[in-house]
Amino acid sequence: MEKRRHNIPILCIFHYFLLSNINLSPKMADAQTIPIRVGVILDMDGYGQMAFNCLSMALSDFYSTHTHYKTRLRLTTRPPKADIIGAAAAGLDLLKNVQVQAILGPTFSTQASFLISLGENSQVPIISFSATNPSLSSTRSPYFVRATLSDASQVDAIGDIVDAFGWREVVPIYEENDFGEGIMPYLSDALGRANAQIPYRSVIPPLATDDQIEAELYKLMTMQTRVFVVHMMSPLASRLFLIAHRVGLMTPDCAWIITNGVTNELEYLDRSVLESMLGVVGVRHYVPRSKEVKSFEARFRKQVVVGDKLSIFGLWAYDAATALAIAAEKAELKDVTYIQKSTNSTDLEGFGVSGGGPSLIKALSNTTFTGLAGSFRLADGELEAPPLEIVNFVGHGVRGIGYWTKESGIVKELNAKSANIVADSTPKSRLGSIIWPGDTTSWPRGWVIPTNGRKLRVGVPVKAGFTEFVSVTWNADNSVRVEGYCIDVFEAVMAALPYGVSYEYIPFAYPNRTTAGDYNSLTYQVFLGNYDIVAGDVTIVANRSQYVDFTLPYTESGVAMIVPMRDDKRKNAWIFLKPLTWELWVTSFCSFVFIGFLIWILEHRINEDFRGPFWYQVGMIFWFSFSTMVFAHKERVVSNLSRMVLVIWFLVVLILTQSYTASLASMLTVQKLQPTVTDVNFLIRNRENVGYMQGSFVLGFLKKMNFDESRLVEYDSPEKLDELLSSSRIAAAFHEVPYIKLFLGKYCSKYTMIGPINKANGFGIVFPIGSPMVKDVSRAILNVTEGRKIAEMERKWLGAVKNCLDSNELASPKNLGLGSFWGLFLIVGVVGMAVLIFYVGEFVRENLGECDPNATMWQRMVELMDKFDDKDKNSHTFKKDGSCGGDCGGQSPLLVSMASPRTDGPPTPTGSSSGFSSPVQRQGIELYLSQRK
């Protein structure tokens, strides 16, 4: 990475070179130790000097605690003079003349690229603790070891921050060199995964003047996006933020995110720069504040030249030297020399191949320990990424607001359990309180109305009918007015987005203001790039989705039929059966028979009206039971049990007959509207004419259903459709459900909807394929349709539809079912069975003793049946005045019955001296007696 340079005297360079050798263990001079020559390619400026001091201290600390090691690293420095050629020359010198076994460095990624090639040819490990360019790969160069972290290790954390706050556009600002450009492919992918796009890339040269930086910032101010990701080294970043603060780009509308190019070098930032960065959010690699780190920092401040500042690169340098010392001992390098390739080689080919390189790189790959910067473990030649710390610039410095890990994303604490992480509603809530630009705690929306931004072109359909959905009119000044239900929904959705969208409506029409095509042609204009969006009553259809993207639908879906309604005046001879369901008819019939049979049993032995020949008694059962329905029976009942049953039964009959009468009257008097057609296949078989709306996809749908194309009639307005249906020019019309509901709102008494007969996906908003706005707009549609605003829009444009549909649904009365009366039948059944059981029990108890005790059970039952068929001579009905108790002394039963007044007739007048109730009875008796004589 590019660092601040300081002019250090050459004498100071040699001083530290000697210091590095003096600080090594005295046993280096011992004949028993094996010296391992290691090259160091660093610029001895502020950063390079700091790194070299850390290397020296690392070896001194290591060998002071590992005195038993047989190997000792000898550092040989070669300053590269801050350019690629200088680094290459230093590397060639170390390989050819010194024959080092490993090289630590160089400072910059641009220097490392050529040096890695030299190391691969000579099989000498190149260990860099500062080359962060992701293009440098250990998988392509097996002798390259990155003892630092790639810039790509932080892009996912940046993407998660962007996604947490819902920003959908981000402008990267980076240095125009390998360091700045190397991260861009990875950053672009990470932002894409966060559903954010890059509308513009701001590239600033490393040597740009303040005027050039200011001009670029003013250019950014004219754009809509206010979310910036800065990836540059601290010297250029310091100038950038000072100018951004001065021109007014550090406002509450702006969000600034910086990479570790700045956060890893906070020690080099002036106080004025920190104050200008108020509200900036940054990421940096987390280094645990262990006691070893604190001790090293204290010793570093005491031992180094005043002015040198320790950064995380110094810690990585310390760990790299420690790892190399461990690996050199593991590799057991002894008398290692270079094998020369040829004697006629040029300077670039004159060095040989290290004999110890393969074993050293293998040992280095397997070396693991806990260093100052954290765990040192190589994976494919790269240092495994530790967690990232998310920091917030608060004016005088930074404070931590959260962490990011590869496994859990944004977390509040590194040791937080996964259950606690899931409990948080959003990743944003896992961050601590953030001070944003403008010294506010309200997170920036990340966009403003642009001063020179291009408005999105929104295509809208032009049509004559169904203007409640979309209506396009031209004013006198040739301006366009677009309104309707779909337009209100579109504008509400755009307003609900987390960023601003500037757009203008463009009618899909010819210069003469007539429609320029159907809906398929309209959506295809988005594919051609003539429109950015299409808003209106555009249905989501499969064939259209092949070249455009749709949002979620915001209306009901489906294709249905519109058919005329007519009053069913045809005479129905069996309409009297319709008021009751067949279950209720069967139950009622069985109940009538049961009641008749029960009354016959109760009255047969004591009532002359229920006696007689067999078929007479069967007829009496049915006659009596059904006559109770109209309360017209003339047979008297004398048993109290019968009367109790009949009281309950009369109540049931009354309720049942009244309900039947009301339902039948409703069926005969209420107008009953029926659709003229209910089956699509009927229309196809009979080659009926059907209608479809002009420009609709329904035409293709009808063709797929094998409708004759010559039978398809087009209409463009509700009035035209009403005319076609009323005149019987079409038998039915096929349309989408939203249109049908609107149509029925005007003509609800004449037509009805059949279906839906086909699944469709409703109206949606059209975008180009791959547009990042689709997800955001779909989420906004969900928010709008779940709120109250959508209901207000429906009442405004489609208000009367629902009431009309409800009135049609109530037109046809329903049949009465058993479910409404089963309680009454249950009461009758329970009472009837209880009475029957009681009566039979009493009869058996009274007559069983008179049976032959020697008879079999069957014989006894037959004898009881015979007794049941006899009159009950002990009944009060046969012991009235003037009667003979069943034995009339040879008199005719007619005489007895005529002489005995009916219990159900009117009482005999008290003034009458005769026992007969009328002259007619006396005349009948006299005639009978004269015939006897």
Q: What percent of the chain has pLDDT over 70?
A: 83
Q: Higher pLDDT residue, 434 or 596?
A: 434
**Extended strands (E) in 372-516:** 374-376, 378-379, 382-383, 388-393, 398-405, 409-411, 456-460, 471-474, 480-483, 503-507
Query: In whole numbers, what is the pLDDT of the chain averaged over residues?
Result: 83
d(CA 212, CA 243): 11
Q: For residue 667, what pLDDT is reported?
A: 77
In a domain, 783, yes or no: no
Percent of the chain with pLDDT over 90: 42
At 679, the amino acid letter reads D
Segment 376-393, tens digit of pLDDT: 999 888 888 899 999 999
Asked whether residue 309 is domain-assigned, the answer is: yes
> Residue 771 and residue 764: Cα distance in Å, rounded?
15
Q: In this predicted structure, what is the pLDDT of residue 416?
A: 57
Confidence of residue 795 (pLDDT cuts 50, 70, 90): confident
- In this structure, the answer to whether residues 164 and 286 fall within a common structural domain is yes
Q: Average pLDDT, stretch 826-840? A: 88
Position 774 in a domain: no
Helix (H) or strand (E) holding 216: helix 210-221
- The CATH number assigned to the domain holding 470 equals 3.40.190.10
Q: Could you read off the pLDDT of 853-887 as tens digits, one per residue?
A: 777 777 777 777 777 777 776 666 666 544 444 44
pLDDT at 643 over 70: yes
Q: For residues 20 and 161, state if they share a domain.
A: no
Domain CATH number, residue 324: 3.40.50.2300
pLDDT top residue among 292 and 845: 292
Choose one of 738, 760, 782: the last residue of a domain: 760
Are residue 15 and residue 96 in the same domain, yes or no? yes
Examine the domain organization and report whether 285 and 321 are in the same domain: no
Domain of 205, in residue numbers: 151-290+387-430
Tokens of 579: 């008021």
**What is the structure's pLDDT at 12?**
44
- Looking at residue 341, its pLDDT comes to 66
List 328's β-bridge partners, or say none: none
Higher-confidence position of 572 and 347: 572
Contact 723, 520 (CB under 8 A): no
- Average pLDDT over every residue of 98-104: 94
411 with 365, same domain: the answer is: no
Which range is most confident: 175-184, 317-326, 467-476, 803-812?
A: 317-326
Q: Is 483 helix (H, G, I), strand (E, B) or coil?
A: strand
3-state secondary structure of 846: helix
Residues 176 and 73 in one domain: no
CA distances from 518 to 291, 693, 696, 703, 841 (A): 74, 10, 7, 17, 87
802 in a structural domain: no
Residue with tokens 């009905």: 877
CA distance from start to end of the chain? 152
Choosing from 516, 550, 584, the residue where a domain stops is 550
Average pLDDT of span 228-249 = 95
> Both 168 and 127 in a single domain?
no
Model pTM score: 0.61
**Per-residue confidence (pLDDT) for residue 82, from 0 to 100:** 65
Can you give the three-state secondary structure of 576-593, one letter per residue? HHCCECHHHHHHHHHHHH
Lowest mean pLDDT among 11-25, 368-382, 842-856: 11-25
785 is a domain residue:
no
Residues 72, 29 contacting (CB under 8 angstroms): no
- Region 366-376: what's the mean pLDDT? 94
pLDDT the model gives residue 672: 67
CA distances from 787 to 271, 496, 818 (A): 49, 12, 43
d(C-alpha 641, C-alpha 650), whole Å: 14
Instruction: Write the pLDDT tens digit of every residue in 184-235.
Output: 999 999 999 998 989 999 999 999 999 999 999 999 998 888 999 999 999 9
What is the spatial distance between Cα 431 and Cα 417, in angstroms, rounded to a whole number? 16
Tokens 């930074």 sit on residue: 398
Verify that 173 and 275 share a domain, yes or no: yes
The pLDDT of 109-113, averaged and rounded, is 86
Q: Which residues contact 619 (CB under 8 A, 6 or more apart)?
A: none
Is pLDDT above 70 for 315? yes
Is position 815 within any domain?
no
Considering the domain architecture, whether residues 234 and 272 belong to the same structural domain is answered as yes
| 683 in Cβ contact with 677 (< 8 Å) | yes
- What integer pLDDT is reported at residue 676 of this predicted model? 84
Strand partners, 126: 103, 144
- Looking at the structure of the chain, the number of domains it has is 6
Residue 69: name the closest of 21, 20, 19, 27 by CA.
Answer: 27
| Residue 14 scores a pLDDT above 50 | no
Q: Is 70 exceeded by the pLDDT of residue 533?
A: yes
Whether 228 and 274 share a structural domain: yes
Distance of alpha carbon 377 from alpha carbon 569, whole angstroms? 91
Backbone angles phi, psi at 549, to 5 degrees: -110, 140
Measured distance CA(179)–CA(131) in Å, rounded? 9
pLDDT score at 272: 93
Identify the residue with better confidence: 933 or 704: 704
Question: Is residue 449 included in any domain, yes or no?
Answer: no
Q: What's the number of CA atoms in the CB half-sphere (13 Å) around residue 536?
A: 25
What pLDDT sits at residue 307?
58
Asked whether residue 421 carries a pLDDT value surpassing 70, the answer given is no
Of 826 and 419, the structure prediction assigns the larger pLDDT to: 826
Residues 6+ apart with CB under 8 A from 638: 603, 606, 607, 875, 877, 903
Query: What would the DSSP string read from start to end of 695-725?
Result: T-THHHHHHHTT--GGGEEEE-SHHHHHHHH
Q: Are residues 50 and 114 in the same domain?
A: yes
In a domain, 806, yes or no: no
Top-confidence residue, 874 or 767: 767
The pLDDT score that the predictor gives to residue 346 is: 55
- Lowest model confidence (mean pLDDT) among 440-449, 683-692, 919-928: 919-928
Residue 572: pLDDT over 90: no
Burial class (CB in 10 A: 0-12, 13-18, 19+), 886: middle
Check whether 695 has a pLDDT greater than 80: yes
Is the per-residue pLDDT at 832 higher than 90?
no
Cα 557 to Cα 457: distance, rounded to the nearest angstrom: 27
CA-based torsion, 807, 809, 811, 815: positive or negative? negative
Indicate if the pLDDT at residue 903 is higher than 50.
no
Please name the residues in contact with 587: beta carbons below 8 A apart, sequence gap of 6 or more.
Answer: 818, 821, 825
pLDDT at 11: 34
- Please give the C-alpha separations between residue 739 and each of 557, 563, 695, in angstroms, as whole numbers: 11, 14, 14
The dihedral sign for the CA sequence 451, 456, 457, 461: negative
Query: By mean pLDDT, which of 208-212, 436-440, 454-458, 607-611 is the weakest?
Result: 607-611
pLDDT of the residue at 231: 97
Residues 193 and 216 grouped into a single domain: yes
847 pLDDT band, cuts 50/70/90, is confident
- Specify the higher pLDDT residue, 56 or 638: 56
Q: Distance (Å, rounded) from C-alpha 424 to C-alpha 430?
A: 7
pLDDT at 462: 93
- Calculate mean pLDDT across residues 329-340: 83
Strand partners, 743: none
Please name which of 732, 315, 768, 334 lies closest in space to residue 544, comparing C-alpha atoms.
768
